[in-house]
Amino acid sequence: MMLLDVKDLWVKFPTRQGLFEAVRGVSFSLGKERLGIVGESGSGKSMTGRAILRLIRPPGIVEADHITLEGRNLLDVTEKDMREVRGEKISMVMQDPKFSLNPVMRIGDQIMEAYLVHNSVSKSEARAKSVEMLEAVSIRDPERVMRAYPHEMSGGMGQRIMIAMMLIPNPQILIADEPTSALDVTVQRQVLDIMDKLVKERGMGLIFISHDLNLVAEFCDRVLIMYAGRIVETCDANKLHDAKHPYTQGLLNSLPRFDQPRRHLDVLKRDPSWAEVPSVKGHT
């Protein structure tokens, strides 16, 4: 089943040198799957995620044929309805939980508030539900975490709390923008496992934005590889290591491999024509 369909998405920013095109004509669709978007910084992967939620602020310009969610074109929706879409239909987890949580509010209060916004229930019920959510993201001592302030949490805990909050309204789509880049490798794994479990259980669609090819190859079902604002290649995640496009191959080869020592790493040689070739369609 198709959850989201994006056609010919452009994101532009006016600068003194003219219009800067961060995303250039990207089309893809998302079903109940884990879709990875990978690319280097400046490839437009984060802008794509933000554009879907219409989080690009003026003077940035978002243009598309359509961004369809449940038959509704999100580009035509009023800002008021859009606020409902954000959270209720599509949630977003950002890179650093430190900047997404309110530093002067107890974590419990923040989760309960998020729950009460979307559900008309009593406070005690919201509280019970919040504790349940924290347990769902494998937080061992949820009562203590409910009373804590965000700065008392480690990065991994913070990111789990963010995921718990984002899942409260039961969205159909979760957009995760580099959700584990700020975390240590051993914690990364745990956070990913939790996200994976929840997404599977609830039958959600996941857009996983990352610069880490190996992570995406392992974690996602399908991958879009972005370069200079366009999709240069799309493939099944488990076949990423057999990717055809020289850019994808170059990225993979430039990673140091612990099991295969080499004196020099391969350096990516960029071909200007990569940026010119029309975007590949990322539909299933």
Partner 1 sequence: MTMITINGLNVWYGDGRDHVDAVKNASFEVAAGESFGLVGESGSGKSTILRAITGLAPNWSGTISIEGKQLSHGKRDREFYRRVQMVFQDPYASLHPRHTVDQVLSETLDLNGITGIDQRVSRLLDGVGLDGKFRFRYPHQLSGGQRQRVAIARALAGEANIILLDEPTSALDVSVQAEILNLLTDLREEHNLTYLMVSHDLPVIGHMCDRLAVMKDGEIVETLTVDSLRAMRAQHEYSRSLLKASIV
Residues in touch with partner 1 (CB under 8 A): 40-41, 155, 184-189, 211, 213-214, 217-218, 250-251, 254-259, 261-268
In angstroms, the first-to-last Cα distance of the chain is: 10
∠ CA 122-125-129, nearest 5°, is 140
C-alpha 207/C-alpha 222 separation (Å) is: 10
Looking at the Cβ atoms of 30 and 37, the one nearer to partner 1 is: 37
- Token digits for 146? 């409910």
Looking at the Cβ atoms of 142 and 179, the one nearer to partner 1 is: 179
User: Minimal CA–CA distance to 108: which of 139, 80, 134, 138?
Assistant: 134
Kindly state the smallest distance separating residue 186's Cβ from partner 1, in Å: 5
Kindly state the smallest distance separating residue 232's Cβ from partner 1, in Å: 14
Looking at the Cβ atoms of 31 and 250, the one nearer to partner 1 is: 250
User: Minimal CA–CA distance to 159: which of 178, 173, 140, 146?
Assistant: 178
Q: Cβ distance 266 to 253 under 8 Å?
A: yes
Q: How far does CA 250 lie from the centroid of its chain?
A: 24
Looking at the Cβ atoms of 79 and 259, the one nearer to partner 1 is: 259
Kindly state the smallest distance separating residue 184's Cβ from partner 1, in Å: 4
CA dihedral 206, 207, 210, 213 (to 10 degrees): 70
- Backbone φ and ψ of 102, nearest 5°: -75, 120
Sign of the torsion formed by the C-alpha atoms of 114, 119, 122 and 125: negative
Looking at the Cβ atoms of 104 and 267, the one nearer to partner 1 is: 267
String of DSSP letters for 246-267: HHHHHHHHTS--TTS--SSPPP
Three-state secondary structure call for residue 61:
strand
∠ CA 208-196-186, nearest 5°, is 85
Kindly state the smallest distance separating residue 91's Cβ from partner 1, in Å: 26
Three-state secondary structure call for residue 35:
strand
Looking at the Cβ atoms of 77 and 268, the one nearer to partner 1 is: 268
Kindly state the smallest distance separating residue 215's Cβ from partner 1, in Å: 9
Kindly state the smallest distance separating residue 165's Cβ from partner 1, in Å: 23
Looking at the Cβ atoms of 109 and 218, the one nearer to partner 1 is: 218
Kindly state the smallest distance separating residue 254's Cβ from partner 1, in Å: 4
